Structure 1
Amino acid sequence: MDKSQSRRIILHVDMNSFYASVEMAFDPNLRNKPLAVAGNVEERKGIIITCSYEARAKGVKTTMPLWQAKKLCPDLIVKKPNFDRYRKASTAMFDILREFTDLVEPVSIDEGYMDITGIINHNPLEIPITIQKRLLDELLLPCSIGVAPNKFLAKMASNMKKPLGITILRKRELQDTLWPLPVANMHGIGEKTAEKLSSIGIKTIYDLAHSDIVQLKGLLGINGERLKQRANGIDNREVNPDSIYDFKSIGNSTTLPKDTTNQLVIYEVLKKLSHSVFVRMKRKDVLASKIFISIRYGNLKTITRSKKLANPTQSEDEIYRQAKQLFDTHWDEEPIRLLGVTAQDLVEKKEAMKQLDIFSYEDDAKQEPLLSVIDKIKHKYGDKVIQKGIKGKLEGDQSPGTSFNKDFLRE
C-alpha cells in the first residue's frame, strides 16, 4: 500500500439488526424483547429476514424458517416487513452521515462507507463515536463502525464487534487479527468460493494471503488475484458517492404459498414478476440485454438460467416471453417453491443502440416517421422535452436512484 493509501481514514457504518431496530424505534414496547421481521408471516414458508439480539441469543438466525425460530423461541414476536418505514430510516441515517462529509457511499439500505481523511484532527475515534451516538440518540438506531485505511479492512472491522462496536483495524495488525480467521469469514468470499479454496488447501485468511497466485487465478480467475490482495490488506478503491447510480440488474422473486406444479399458477407468477421488473426498468429509463430466471424446488435445489437478447428491450411482454421460454426449457416438472425474474446487463435507454436484424427491421421501419418527428423536436427543444412511452423524470428530483439491491431510497 502506498503512503497516500495508508493515510486514508475510511469508516464502514453498519446498522445493527436494522429492520428489527427500526421496529423497536417505532414501538418502544418491543425493546429488549425477542423480535423477528419475517416474510410470509401467515404462510408455512415464512423466513426470518432479521431479528433482534435477544432473539439471536435463543438461537434464532437470519434465513431460518419461521416455524423453526418459534420452536427455538416460543415467545418470539414476529412483525411483517414495513419497507416504507425502513427506507425513511435509511434516508435519515445517511443524511446524518453526510453532515460529516460528502464522501459517503451507500452500499445497501443499512450500511455505507465514509472517507473522513480530510476532517480528522488528531483522534481517529472522535468522529465514529459522535456518529454512533447521534444515530442512537436521534434515530434510536444502534450501529457498529469499522475504522481502517481502506474499504475492505473497514468492512472487516465493523463485523468484529456487534452491537454498538467501534473497531480500528490497521494493516500492521493483520497477522494477529485477520489472518487466523477461517477464509469463509472474509468479506467477498461465499460458501462456494470457500469450498473451492479449501480444495487447494486454503483454510484461513493467512493461507489465502500467502497462496500461489498462478494456482489461485487458475481456480478463480481474476477474482483470485483480487482476493489475495484483500487478504494482504490491499484495497485501493475510493469511496464513491455516485456508485449508487451504477446498476446492472433489476429483479424480483417470490416464494409461492405452497409448492406447485400447476403451470397456470406458475405462468401467472412469472407474469407478475415480469411486470414488477418492467415497472422498475421504466422508472429508471433502462433497457435489458439479458433475461435471467431462478427456480427453487421444494427440496431447496435452486437453478438459474439466462438468455442474451439480440436487442435490448424494455417491453413487459418481451420480458415475460423470455422468462416463460427459459422456464419451459429448463423446468424438470418437480414442485416449485420460489421463482425469480431479473433483467440484466442494463443500459440507459438514450444510449442503447438497437442492432436491427431481418426480423425487427419491418417493425422499426413502421415507426420511422414518428421517430423522425421526435428527433426533430428533441433537436430543437432538448432531450428531455419528449420521451416516447416514458414518463419524464422531474428535474427537481435529485434523490438517488438505485439498483436491484440498492433501491431502498426510492420505490
Structure 2
Amino acid sequence: MRKGKIIFHVDMNSFYASVEMAEHPELRGKPLAIAGKVEDRRGIVVTSSYEARAHGVKTTMQVWEAKRKCPGLIVKPPHFDLYRSVSRKLFALLRSYTDQVERVSIDEGYMDVTSLTEDRHPVQLAQAIQQQIKDQLALPCSIGIAPNKFMAKMASDMKKPMGITILRKREMHKTLWPLPVSEMHGVGKKTAEKLVNIGIKTIGDIAHYPKAAFVEQFGKYGERLHERANGYDPREVDPEAESEFKSISQSTTLPRDIQDEEEARLVLHRLAYRLSRKLKEKRSLAYQLSIAIRYSDWKNISRAKTVQQPLQTTEDIAQLAFQIFSTHWNGEPIRLLGITVQALEPVTKASKQLDLFTYEQDASKEPLFNVLQDLEDKYGSSVVRLGIDDKQEKGK
C-alpha cells in the first residue's frame, strides 16, 4: 500500500497561444504572441508560442520590442471567452478522473490522485491525462508529481512543453536545492534580490538557514518559504477553492505601484465597500471570495476562499480579503488589486440572519467613502487613512 499523498500539478503550456493554434491550425509552428490592447501602459505580450520564445520573445515584453526581436511575429488579441470555454472543458476532463481537483487559474490546477495510484503508477496516470488533453483539446501540458502542492508546482515547471516530472523529498538535495531562489515558486524578483544580498542564493540556502532568524527577517511569508524549501507544505487540494457560479468583481489599477501593507488594506477596504453596495442592491450574499494581485512586473496571482457564514458587509468582505492578501502577497510592488465575490445566494435563502446594526453601520460610512474616493482620485491612494480601522485594530 502506497504511503503519503500523490499530488499532480497540471500546467497548460503557453495556454492562450496554444488555444489559438488549436482553433486555427494554420498558426501551428509559427511565432505567435497574444498581446493586450494598447491602452494606458501600452500593449504587452501576455503569452507567446515556443517558436516566438526561441527568438527571445517573453511575457510582459512590449509588442514593439517583441517584433524587433522576432520580425515574423504574428500578434493576436486575446479571446477570453474562448479561453474560459476551453478551460471549463479542461477541468471537466480532469474531474472525470477524480473530484479532488483544485482550479488555481484558467490554465492550471492541482489533483489529489492518491486513491488512483494504489494500483497504477503515477507516471502512467499522468501520461494518460496528458495524452487525453492532447487528443481531445489539442493542447500541450506539463504535469508535476510530488507529495505536496508546492513540490508538484515546482516539478511541473521543470520540463516544458509536454513534460512529466517527479519530485521526491529524498531527492530534494539534488533536484530542488541547487536551483536559484528566483526559480522558487512564491519568490518574486525583489524578494530574490533581498535574499541574494544576504547571501541566500539557492533554495538549499533557504532550507539550511536557521528558521528562527529567517522568520525574524521575513515574517510569516519567510516561515512559509522556509518550510517549503524543506519540502513541507500541508495545504490540501481544495475542490471548493474556486467556483464557476455567478460573481461580482471590483478591481483598480493603482495610480502608482504600492509596496505598503496599510495602503493595500485601504484599497481593499474601498473595493469591499463597492462590492457590499452591489450585493445589497442585488439582495444577495456571497459564500466565496477571491483576490487578484498584479505585480509591477505584470505577473498575476489569484487566490480564493470559501466561507461557511455568508458575506455582505464591507467589514466582513474587507477582513477576509486582507486575510487572503496578507497570506499570499510576496512583498513585491503592486499595480492592481481586485476582489471577486461569488457563489451568490439571495438573502431570503441564506442560513444566517444579517446583523441590522452592522448593516446600518456600513451604510453610515457611505459619505465617508465617497469623500475618500474623491481625495484618492485627486491626490493618490496614500493621502488618507481609515481612522475607523485603526481604532478597530487597537481595540482588538
Check if 1:204 corresponds to 2:202. yes
| TM-score, scaled relative to structure 2 | 0.67
1:111 matched residue in structure 2: 108
How far the C-alpha of 1:251 sits from its partner, in A, is: 3.9
Distance 1:63 1:362 in 2: 39
Residue 16 of structure 2, aligned match among 15, 19, 32: 19
Q: Distance in 1 between matches of 2:362 and 2:248?
A: 27
2:144 is aligned with 1:124: no
Unaligned runs of 5+ residues in structure 2 are 257-269, 299-311, 319-333, 367-396
CA change 1:23–1:288 in 2 (3 A) is closer
Residue 358 of structure 2 corresponds to which residue in structure 1? Answer: 355
| Amino acid of the structure 2 residue aligned with 1:180 | P
Q: Amino acid of the residue matched to residue 141 of structure 1? A: L
Change beyond 3 A, Cα 1:29–1:196? same
Q: What letter matches 1:83 in structure 2?
A: F
1:233 partner letter: G
1:69 corresponds to which letter in structure 2? Answer: A
Q: How does 1:11-410 map to 2 (within 5 A)?
A: 11-41=8-38, 45-120=42-117, 121-245=119-243, 250-253=249-252, 282=279, 285-286=285-286, 312-313=313-314, 340=336, 342-343=338-339, 353=355, 355=358
* Offset at residue 11 of structure 1 (A): 0.4
The TM-score with structure 1 as length reference comes to 0.65
Structure 2 equivalent of residue 388 of structure 1:
none
**Cα distance in 2 between the residues matched to 1:20 and 1:280:** 38
**Residues 11 and 280 (structure 1), Cα distance of their counterparts in 2 relative to 1, 3 Å cut:** farther
Task: Work out whether residues 11 and 141 of structure 2, in 8 Å CA contact, stay in contact via their aligned partners in 1.
Answer: yes
Give the C-alpha shift of residue 75 in structure 1: 1.0
1:287, 1:313 within 8 Å by CA — same for their partners in 2?
A: no
Distance 1:170 1:292 in 2: 31
Q: Alignment length, in residue pairs?
A: 309
CA contact (8 A) 1:288 1:312 kept: no
Give me the whole-angstrom Cα distance separating, in 1, the residues matched to 2:36 and 2:22.
20
What secondary structure sits across from 1:163 in the alignment? Answer: coil
Per-residue displacement from partner, 1:167-216 (whole Å, max 9, x unpaired)? 01111110111101111110111122222322332111010000111211
CA contact (8 A) 1:148 1:157 kept: yes
**Quick check: 2:5–2:114 contact (8 Å CA) kept in 1?**
yes
1:387 is matched with which residue? none
Cα distance in 2 between the residues matched to 1:104 and 1:216: 33
Rg bigger for which structure? 1
Which SS does the other structure have where 1:68 is aligned? helix
Q: Taking every aligned residue pair, what percent have the same amino acid on both sides?
A: 50
- 2:365 & 2:195 partners in 1: Cα distance? 52
State whether residues 100 and 111 of structure 2, in contact with CA within 8 Å, keep that contact through their aligned partners in structure 1. Answer: yes
| Secondary structure of the structure 2 residue equivalent to 1:107 | strand
CA distance in 2, matches of 1:64, 1:148: 32
Once residues 177 and 250 of structure 1 are traced to their aligned partners in structure 2, the CA distance between those partners, rounded to angstroms, is 40
CA contact (8 A) 1:44 1:67 kept: no
Q: Which amino acid aligns with 2:251?
A: N
Q: CA deviation at 1:341?
A: 6.1
Instruction: State the shift of 1:131 in Å.
Output: 0.6
Alpha carbons 2:32, 2:75 under 8 Å: kept = yes
- Give yes or no for contact 2:275–2:314 (8 Å, CA) kept in 1: no
Gaps of 5+ in 1: 260-272, 301-310, 320-337, 364-411
The code of the aligned residue for 1:36 comes to A
AA aligned opposite 2:78: P
